[in-house]
């Protein structure tokens, strides 16, 4: 090989190595994402329904890298206002790489005003988190974001079993911001429940803890159903949900939650107009 050719080869090899070094390493979750989502999508919606790009309709926010994989905050905001002719009928949260990827589905009505949701989820591996909205006309729209986290579904509970059971089903409700008649108003609902995933171990006995989680929630105001939710193990312990309602005036909000052991928890709170918090 001539010296000039050898020199060109060495430079080319060095440049190739530099490109490889600066390129981001391939992530196993990213490599499997297409297959995982294809299977989940088919199971949820079949192969014939079109899922449209939801970037003009939904916005999903979550940390790029979670500080705690067992408590990852996510929020989903809708671009559809209360005066729009159409509304979001349901919103499904999917975490591709979780053992139970469908975290849950929220069902709305026009009485919500806007279909915004905030909650906390477990993330078991680097994964896309998706929000799929079904409109009242049956059309599907999706927004997604990628979160770096691992081990969230098997992470130990923050309280021991006895403490968790002592407060099981306790609920708190908080009105947020200014509440006006016929205007979207924010509610936070918090439920004390370990939401055991079935993948955790008791830190004292080292025995597996069977799954035990809130799987149904219904919220109503003065007897009118406002919101329902079906959940699974991907919702974090002590579930917390922020959502909106359109109050008709002062009244009473009722929350009724059911868990996988058949326990039913119900609580009522008065609603006040004006500055809530």
pLDDT at 34: 60
Q: Name the DSSP class of 250.
A: S
Q: Which of 66, 186, 178 is nearest to 129 (CA)?
A: 66
d(CA 210, CA 85): 45
Section 4-12 average pLDDT: 41
pLDDT at residue 113 greater than cutoff 60? yes
174 pLDDT more than 70: yes
pLDDT band at 60 (very low <50, low <70, confident <90, very high): very high
- Percent of all residues in the chain with a pLDDT value above 70, rounded to a whole number: 87
Confirm whether 16 is domain-assigned: no
- pLDDT for the residue 97: 96
pLDDT band (50, 70, 90) for residue 251: very high
CA atoms within 13 A on the CB side of 183: 8
Instruction: Classify 182 in phi/psi space as left (phi over 0), alpha (psi -120 to 50) or beta.
Output: left
Residue 69 domain-assigned? Answer: yes
- The answer to whether residue 4 sits within a structural domain is no
Number of domains the chain contains: 1
Query: Reduced to 3 states, what is the DSSP secondary structure of residue 221?
Result: strand
Asked if residue 231 is part of any domain, the answer here is yes
Three-class secondary structure of residue 112 per DSSP: helix
224: CATH: 2.60.40.10
Q: Is residue 77 part of a domain?
A: yes
Question: Is residue 214 scored above 60 in pLDDT?
Answer: yes
Q: What is the mean pLDDT of residues 209-223?
A: 97
pLDDT digits (tens, 9 = 90+) for 24-56: 333 444 434 468 999 999 999 999 999 999 998
Model confidence over 73-106: pLDDT tens digits? Answer: 999 999 998 888 899 999 999 999 999 999 999 9
pLDDT at residue 163 is higher than 60:
yes
Is-contact 81 21, C-beta < 8 A?
no
pLDDT reported for residue 227: 97
Residue 175: inside a domain: yes
Percent of the chain exceeding pLDDT 90 equals 75
Average pLDDT across the chain, whole number: 88
State the pLDDT at residue 6.
40
What b/e readout covers 75-93, taking b as 16+ CB neighbours within 10 angstroms? ebbbebeeeeeebbbbbbb
| Alpha-helical segments (H) within the chain | 3-22, 28-45, 161-166
Residue 247 lies in a domain: yes
Domain that residue 234 falls in: 26-275
CA–CA distance, 138 with 140 (Å, rounded to integer): 6
pLDDT level of residue 122 (50, 70, 90 thresholds): very high
More confident residue, 23 or 249: 249
pLDDT (mean) for 182-207: 93
Kindly tell me if the per-residue pLDDT of 187 is higher than 60: yes
For residue 10, tell me if it sits in a domain.
no
């Amino acid at each position: 090989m001539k010296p000039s050719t050898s020199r060109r080869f060495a430079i080319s090899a060095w440049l190739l190595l530099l490109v490889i070094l600066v390129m981001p390493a391939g992530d196993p979750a990213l490599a499997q994402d297409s297959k995982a989502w294809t299977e989940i999508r088919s199971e949820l919606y079949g192969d014939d329904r079109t899922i449209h790009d939801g970037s003009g309709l939904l916005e999903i926010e979550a940390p790029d890298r979670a500080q705690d994989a067992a408590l990852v905050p996510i929020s989903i905001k809708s671009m559809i206002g209360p005066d729009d002719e159409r509304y979001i009928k349901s919103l499904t949260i999917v975490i591709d790489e979780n053992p139970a990827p469908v975290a849950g589905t929220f069902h709305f009505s026009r009485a919500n005003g806007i279909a915004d949701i905030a909650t906390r989820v477990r993330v078991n591996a680097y994964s896309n988190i998706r929000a799929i909205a079904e409109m009242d006309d049956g059309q599907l729209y999706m927004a997604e974001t990628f979160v770096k986290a691992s081990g969230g579904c098997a992470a130990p509970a923050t309280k021991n079993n006895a403490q968790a059971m002592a407060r099981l089903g306790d609920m708190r409700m908080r009105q947020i911001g200014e509440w006006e008649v016929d205007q979207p108003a924010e509610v936070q609902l918090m439920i004390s429940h370990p939401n055991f995933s079935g993948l955790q171990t008791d830190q004292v006995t080292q025995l597996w803890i069977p799954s035990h989680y809130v799987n149904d929630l219904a919220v109503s105001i003065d007897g009118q159903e406002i919101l329902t939710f079906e959940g699974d193990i991907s919702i974090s312990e002590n579930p917390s949900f922020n959502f909106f309602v359109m109050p008709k005036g002062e009244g009473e909000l009722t929350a009724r939650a059911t868990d996988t052991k058949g326990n039913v928890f119900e609580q009522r709170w008065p609603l006040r107009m004006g500055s809530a918090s």
